[in-house]
Amino acid sequence: MDFLILLASWFVFHSYFFEELDMILKNTGLNFVNAGVLMSVYWMAIFVLTGFYKKLYLVSRLDEFIQAIKATITGALVLFFIGIIGDALSIEQQRNLAVFYWVSVFSMVAFNRFMIRTVQRFYARRGKGLHKTLIIGTGESAKTAHDDLLRNKTLGMQVLGFVQVNGQFPAEHIGIKKEEVIGHLDGIRAIIDEHNVQDILVALEPDRKKDLVDVISKVDFPDITLKLLPDFYQMVSGLSKTNQIFGMPLVEISPEPMPLWEKTAKRVFDILVSILALIFISLFVPFIILAIRITSPGPAIFKQTRVGKNGKPFTILKFRTMYIGAEEKTGPTLAKENDPRITKIGYWLRKLRIDEIPQFINVLKGDMSLVGPRPERPHFVEQFSVQIPLYTRRLRVRPGITGWAQVKWKYGGSLDTVREKTKYDLFYIENISLKMDAKILINTILTILKGKGQ
């Protein structure tokens, strides 16, 4: 609908300023139709980058009106400055064109979105098109949340049932029937898959606040929207943002704190740096491979399965720094300081971070990023997911060659060390930005230059 509306706005714009536009089109070699399609694609790209399609489900009409203003002003300003560079018309003419085109696009897009949201609300009030929702908890708070959702269909949630946390059925005075309790928290993943759940609302009792972090860690899945009742905002400060959804305040655990334009810039930067790094370092790679092969038998390139974004496994590439068969007797073991499994040349490869060079190939393939939590093996991901609360939140983003935990924390093979490093990883994920990435890269370069790597 947006695309058709944008084509219509181009037609209106052209009908009012056909002389000026024909002059511009002649210089570019485009005709009226091609230019209309191109401009519509341009606006769609602007909408994507400004987050106009980030949340499509039952968005507040006022919020979307404000978002439409921001997106269309951004697009109009870009066109205005491009027009000035083109120098086909005077600045005054360019300003008039940009303002009129903005008014045309904004008014038609805003009206289109208003009508769509109105239709959505109409069907939502009748219980159609709602998200399948589970309520975690079986106490009075859970019952209150259930009743609120039934009264307010425009919240967009259809409650399938309740999930036990403590293994006890609710007391009769609460009003929750036994058949409405569809499972226990320990089996939440199977319940989600069986019922195609889209939203989860955590509604614990005030005396169960201590269980909140453990509950969140068990229901924190990338494909599920997780909401909490507002009483628990202080408990998850820094992990969430508050949303007012059609009059009912909820706390939503934010899975994507990084705007799309920043994610796009981050990915482009990853690709460019990886290509330049591989070209520059390719001259030294034969000497590195020769040094590894001479000092210890076995291949120079080490391959291993690691867990990437959203739990997807991938094969990581590194220059081998350990002896072949280093874990045959011990099984999977975390690396530690003064690790006896590391070869003599491997010690220096790790210290100067040279062993990470092949991972630029992983970055080019999209398995990794330059900056992010270090990828771990499936064996340890399963282990730490049980032992460390919110550990799986590390899987929200692409793993990185370097990360906040690597520049701020020491090496270590104990669970306590992993737990401390996880805190730094979670801090990075909740504060991820291009500025944060730049800070980590600078710290990493300084670490390499000072020879403080491990």
Residue 240: both structure tokens together:
């969430």
How far from chain centre, in Å, is Cα 292? Answer: 38
Q: Which residue has the tokens 């001259």?
A: 283
Q: Please provide residue 134's backbone torsions phi and psi, each rounded to the nearest 5 degrees.
A: -110, 145
Note the pLDDT tens digit of each residue in 51-92. 788 766 667 788 888 889 999 999 888 888 876 655 556 777
Strand 313-319 and strand 369-371: pairing? unpaired
Cβ contact 164:183 at 8 Å: yes
Report how far residue 253's alpha carbon sits from residue 233's, in angstroms, rounded to the nearest whole number: 10
233-261 residue pLDDT tens: 444 444 445 454 444 566 676 556 677 78
What does the pLDDT read at residue 452? Answer: 59
User: In the prediction, which pLDDT does 204 show?
Assistant: 83
User: In the prediction, which pLDDT does 82 show?
Assistant: 76
Which of 218 and 47 is assigned the larger pLDDT?
47
Mean pLDDT, residues 91-98 taken together: 80
pLDDT in tens, 110-168: 999 899 888 888 888 887 888 899 999 888 888 888 888 888 777 788 899 999 887 77
Dihedral of alpha carbons 93, 94, 97, 98, sign: negative
pLDDT in tens, 390-433: 888 888 899 999 998 888 776 666 777 888 888 889 889 888 88
Report how far apart, in Å, the C-alpha atoms of 165 and of each of 16, 51, 182, 259 are.
64, 36, 12, 34
3-state secondary structure at position 401: strand
401 vs 276: CA distance, rounded Å = 16
pLDDT at 330 over 80: no
Contacts of 150 (CB under 8 A, 6+ apart): 159
> Hey, what domains does the chain have and what are their CATH numbers?
2-125 (no CATH), 131-253 (3.40.50.720), 260-450 (no CATH)
Whether residue 226 contacts residue 252, with contact meaning beta carbons closer than 8 Å, is answered with yes
Task: For residue 253, give the nearest of 34, 26, 44, 430 by alpha carbon.
Answer: 430
Q: Let me know: does 76 contact 98? Beta carbons within 8 Å.
A: yes
Closest C-alpha to 304, from 294, 318, 293, 290: 318
Give CA separation, 19 vs 14, 25, 40, 103, in Å.
9, 10, 20, 19
Q: What is the mean pLDDT of residues 341-356?
A: 84
> Helix, strand, coil % (nearest 5) of the chain?
60, 15, 30
The string of pLDDT tens digits covering residues 153-180 is 777 888 999 998 877 777 777 888 888 8
Scanning the structure block, which residue is given the tokens 């975390």?
A: 334
Angle, helix 32-49 to helix 18-28, in steps of 10 degrees: 90
Strand ranges inside 52-156, DSSP E: 131-136
Neighbours of 40 (CB within 10 A): 20
**What pLDDT is stored for residue 73 in this prediction?**
92
Report the range of poorest mean pLDDT among 181-185, 255-259, 290-294: 255-259
390: left (phi over 0), alpha (psi -120 to 50) or beta: left
- Mean pLDDT (the chain, rounded): 82
* Between 28 and 36, residue with greater pLDDT: 36
Residue 418 confidence (pLDDT) = 85
pLDDT number for residue 246: 45
Model confidence pLDDT, tens digit, residues 368-389? 999 999 999 998 898 888 888 8
Q: What is the mean pLDDT of residues 262-271?
A: 92
